[in-house]
Amino acid sequence: MMNKKFSFVISIFLIFIASFLFMLANPSFVNSNGLGFIAFFYFFPILIVIHNQNYKSNIFFGFLYGFLSYFLYAFWLVSYGVLIQSLLCVLYGAFWSILFCLLKFADLYFKKCGFLIQFLIILSFEFIKTKGFLGFGYGISGYSQWQNLYLIQIANLFGVFGVSAIVIFPSFLMYEIYKKIKNHQQNFLSVLFFSGVWILLFCATLLYGKNQIKKNENVSVKSKVSIIAIQNNEDPWGSGFNYYRSSIQQLINITNDALKNYPEVDIVVWPETAVVPSVSHFYDEEKSNRKLLIEALMHYFESKDCNFLIGNGFSEFDNINQKIYNSALFFEQDKNILPPKPVVYSKNHLVPFSEHLPFGIKSNFLEKNFDFHFWNEGQDVIVFEDDDFCFGTPICFEDTFDDIPRKMKNKGANFFISLINDSWGNSFVCQNQHLAISVFRAVENKLPLVRCTVSGQTCYISSCGKIENLCEPFTQTYNHYEIPIFNDYFKTLFSKLGNLFIYVVVIICFILLLNKFS
């Protein structure tokens, strides 16, 4: 009995350690950039727990790990709402309960190579958790390496999950060594073999990365696009006509200051939902304060010798129903400003629960009581084209998923402009976690990316993932970027094949497990 109690206490301790390691590897309140090297061994403690506990206990420990690790990692979600944070933690508690049981199954029934199957299970889970209505791109192991430029270049071959594979494998090697020592086994040949394979792959990854960065420095540039990104640092919960008018005036003031210093700019960018009143709806409405506000804004755009890209709620009518989208509107000088006929891209991937519910369900209760704002879902991936360039605009957390930027690349985008509003989190850590993920979208597609945000981490990310000209967070400011348009437009292996690598991993994992179950 004492041994069981002691084992239980040790397992609790290891779960807490593993949860803190997961948090520390990523941007956190302890280190705002994260300690990426920790990701190389942060799964080791949970593998020990799984090995030492039975199925019933693993359900509990799995729930505890999933709940606690995401509570610590995504603590900033409480600013959005206690309900959303609670749902996330409970959801990941449930996911990891199932995962612990699968890992226990692999430990018991794959005697010779159990650690390899466990590796495939967790790698598959990191991919599967980004899919479907509940898809959540945060917390993937590869993202912890966002500042290791040499290591992350393989993302242009295999996506972020290729980086994850390199990063998490040592945890499983350590676990295999632990098992052999515990069981007094003398044969370490398999461990030595797989350690050698990993070392070779790790070195090859670094050499590939070094070569890619060197190539990037020598790529010929056809032209450059001059962009001003405005960071307005407005209250995300503000509402009412006076607030909207003040917010737009502040955007205009910052833009005027920027244009004084950079008059030859091609595009001025305002972040996600920077303009709250719908341009499409209120410009055509009968006379009202909001109509006059939008008319004045359009005249302002028309008076400037540049294009404007703004975040706005685009409105349209489907028969008798009004649909409102979280959109990016592109106004081209002397083409579509008066009357406003912007090219529109509407956010395709909405935030679950807070922006939409499954199957298009609406909930007045959630909107009224939890400040949720339900949008309609955009159906097409649109890129914005000019005579000299083409670009895509992931909105909000769309750049935390790899599919939409990849589609934009394949439709001809020369660069990305992400429109982002993370100000609701009031957290530098939240914004840095998002920035870490954005880096991979640039690397995967080998395209530069400009982040235009409401409150922070407005910056330029080069096609090899180097962050430049970062605006000071939580300030009203702007930055100017010269975006290169490369002579040689090419597709990376990832932009051609997408997540083929991880799909193969998932299929292999499924077949192996199904074979044992049957």
> Mind telling me the catalytic residues?
272, 347, 396
The two structure tokens encoding residue 433: 């976690």
Sheet (strand 343-346) strand order? 343-346, 321-331, 307-318, 267-269, 221-231, 477-486
Element (H, E) at 314: strand 307-318
Cα gap 265→259, rounded to integer Å: 7
Beta-bridge partners for 313: 326
Work out the widest C-alpha separation in the chain, in whole angstroms.
85
What single-letter amino acid sits at 291? K
Tell me the C-alpha to C-alpha distance, in Å, between residue 319 and each of 7, 79, 314, 326: 64, 37, 16, 20
With a CB cutoff of 8 Å and minimum separation 6, the contacts of 71 are 85, 89
What are the φ/ψ torsions at residue 333 (nearest 5 degrees)? -55, 130
CA atoms within 13 A on the CB side of 290: 17
CA–CA gap between residue 271 and residue 251 (Å, rounded):
10
Q: SS3 string of 159-205?
A: CHHHHHHHHHHHHHHHHHHHHHHHCCCCCCHHHHHHHHHHHHHHHHH
What does the angle CA 110 – CA 113 – CA 116 come to, to the nearest 5 degrees? 110
Dihedral, CA atoms, 288, 291, 295, 296, nearest 10 degrees? 60
